[in-house]
């Protein structure tokens, strides 16, 4: 009986390991939707490149680069919801809108979000028209007449903890507010993060320069050039999607009835910048979406050309020839002042 259990565990282990990978990296080509085909196809290109061995080519130019990435949890967030209210009169429309927003603010206060953290942004307030047919003896006219009013506003809600967002969604949904426009991420002191990146990138460059010095290269005998950049990416820039499904089964071809296709659910997931090209990553283990701030510096060292000493030119003094009547030639130098 023990042997049977061992055999079962051996055969079940690969299955468990395969499931840990998730669906996002194992989807087939047919499951990639057309609008995101290029983005998802990069996954397969990366996998192919990992198994390719690149040949090293010598180069007289020394290139030293350093890349550092910092994963920052935002200090605060702002969720923006869009609200549309319709009424028969302008006063009725405005009153209904105020009542909905007042209820949202009341619910948010019970969840720890102060009234000053909720800001209202008025987008539009316009009349709504309908078409009325005006019949005459020999003709018809279609006239647009005011039917009511439409008030559209955005509600900005500031919060500091990610778990508050679920309560915000609940409060808005209870008051028939479902249109989430976006969520912005904010960092209080960005300059301190860049200072930290500069410090770490200098350490990395010094280590690499020392490595070349240990190999016997004198960096001072090279002419340096530099290029640098910095960037800041927010989570909304790195959401990808895919559809994990099997379209049809082979068994359906043996049936006479037609196939009724179902709507395939599109899955979205957060896919941040990969760490594989970075020399150092600060805050590597992330659970929630973060702001990714990076800095890169590239140094190129070109061998200096040896200075050639200027050669002294031979000064040739001008000469003149004197020919006497008897045919003798006398050569004399011309003196220059």
Distance, in Å, from the CA atom of 226 to the CA atom of 63, rounded to the nearest integer, reads 10
Domain annotation covers residue 326: no
Q: Decide if pLDDT at 330 tops 50.
A: yes
Distance, in Å, from the CA atom of 68 to the CA atom of 198, rounded to the nearest integer, reads 9
* pLDDT, tens digit (0-9, with 9 covering 90-100), for 25-57: 554 444 444 444 444 555 555 655 655 566 778
Distance, in Å, from the CA atom of 15 to the CA atom of 18, rounded to the nearest integer, reads 5
301 shares a domain with 196: yes
Domain annotation covers residue 9: no
Q: Decide if pLDDT at 1 tops 50.
A: no
Domain annotation covers residue 228: yes
pLDDT value at position 5?
Answer: 44
Hey, CA dihedral for 34, 36, 38, 41, is it positive or negative?
negative
126 shares a domain with 174: yes
Tell me what the mean pLDDT of segment 255-273 comes to: 76
Q: Decide if pLDDT at 4 tops 50.
A: no
According to DSSP, the β-strands at 140-159 and 62-72 are unpaired
Contact 85, 163 (CB under 8 A): no
Domain annotation covers residue 225: yes
288 shares a domain with 224: yes
Q: Which residue has the higher pLDDT, 52 or 297?
A: 297
Please, what is the angle between helix 164-174 and helix 90-110, to 10°?
A: 150
221 shares a domain with 299: yes
According to DSSP, the β-strands at 280-282 and 62-72 are parallel
209 shares a domain with 109: no
Structure tokens at 306: 């040896």
Of 186, 215, 238, the last residue of a domain is 186
User: Which residue matches tokens 């969604």?
Assistant: 169
Tell me what the mean pLDDT of segment 235-257 comes to: 71
152 pairs with which residues across the strands?
Answer: 84, 124
Domain annotation covers residue 266: yes
- What CATH number has the domain bearing residue 116? 3.30.70.2970
* pLDDT, tens digit (0-9, with 9 covering 90-100), for 92-113: 999 999 999 999 999 998 888 9
pLDDT value at position 127?
Answer: 84
Q: Decide if pLDDT at 121 tops 70.
A: yes
Domain annotation covers residue 126: yes
pLDDT value at position 95?
Answer: 92
Least confident of 212-216, 300-304, 318-322: 318-322
Domain annotation covers residue 297: yes
pLDDT value at position 285?
Answer: 85
Number of domains into which the chain is organized: 2
* Closest to 189 (Cα-Cα) out of 92, 108, 76: 76
DSSP for residue 305: P
181 shares a domain with 85: yes
203 shares a domain with 168: no
236 shares a domain with 291: yes
* pLDDT, tens digit (0-9, with 9 covering 90-100), for 137-192: 666 776 666 788 889 999 999 999 888 999 999 989 988 899 999 999 999 999 99
Structure tokens at 115: 């009234």
Structural domain span for residue 195: 56-73+188-248+262-305
3-class secondary structure, 288: coil
Domain annotation covers residue 290: yes
- Kindly report the pTM of this predicted structure: 0.67
pLDDT value at position 266?
Answer: 83
Distance, in Å, from the CA atom of 205 to the CA atom of 197, rounded to the nearest integer, reads 12
């Amino acid at each position: 009986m023990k042997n049977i259990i061992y055999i079962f565990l051996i055969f079940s282990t690969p299955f468990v390991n395969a499931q840990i990978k998730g669906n996002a990296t194992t989807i087939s080509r047919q499951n990639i939707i057309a609008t995101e085909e290029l983005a998802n196809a990069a996954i397969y290109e990366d996998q192919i490149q990992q198994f390719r061995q690149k040949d090293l080519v010598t180069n007289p130019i020394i290139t030293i680069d350093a890349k550092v990435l910092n994963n920052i949890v935002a200090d605060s967030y702002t969720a923006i919801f869009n609200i549309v209210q319709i009424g028969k009169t302008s006063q009725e429309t405005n009153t209904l809108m105020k009542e909905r927003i007042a209820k949202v603010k009341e619910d948010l206060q019970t969840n720890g979000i102060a009234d000053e953290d909720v800001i209202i942004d008025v987008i539009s307030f316009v009349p709504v028209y309908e078409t009325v047919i005006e019949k005459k003896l020999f003709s018809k006219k279609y006239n647009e007449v005011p039917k009511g009013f439409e008030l559209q506003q955005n509600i900005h809600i500031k919060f500091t903890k990610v778990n508050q967002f679920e309560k915000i969604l609940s409060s808005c949904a209870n008051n028939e507010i479902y249109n989430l426009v976006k969520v912005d991420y904010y960092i209080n002191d960005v300059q301190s993060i860049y200072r930290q990146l500069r410090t770490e990138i200098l350490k990395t460059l010094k280590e690499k320069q020392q490595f070349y010095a240990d190999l016997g290269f004198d960096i001072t005998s090279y002419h340096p050039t530099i290029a640098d950049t910095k960037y800041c990416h927010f989570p909304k820039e790195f959401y990808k999607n895919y559809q994990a499904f099997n379209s049809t089964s082979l068994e359906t071809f043996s049936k006479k009835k037609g196939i009724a296709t179902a709507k395939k659910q599109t899955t979205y997931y957060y896919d941040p910048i990969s760490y594989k090209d970075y020399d150092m990553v600060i805050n590597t283990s992330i659970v929630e979406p973060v702001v990714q701030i990076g800095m890169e510096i590239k140094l190129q060292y070109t061998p200096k050309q040896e200075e050639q000493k200027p050669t002294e030119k031979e000064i040739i003094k001008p000469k003149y020839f004197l020919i006497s009547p008897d045919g003798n030639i006398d050569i004399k130098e011309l003196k220059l002042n």
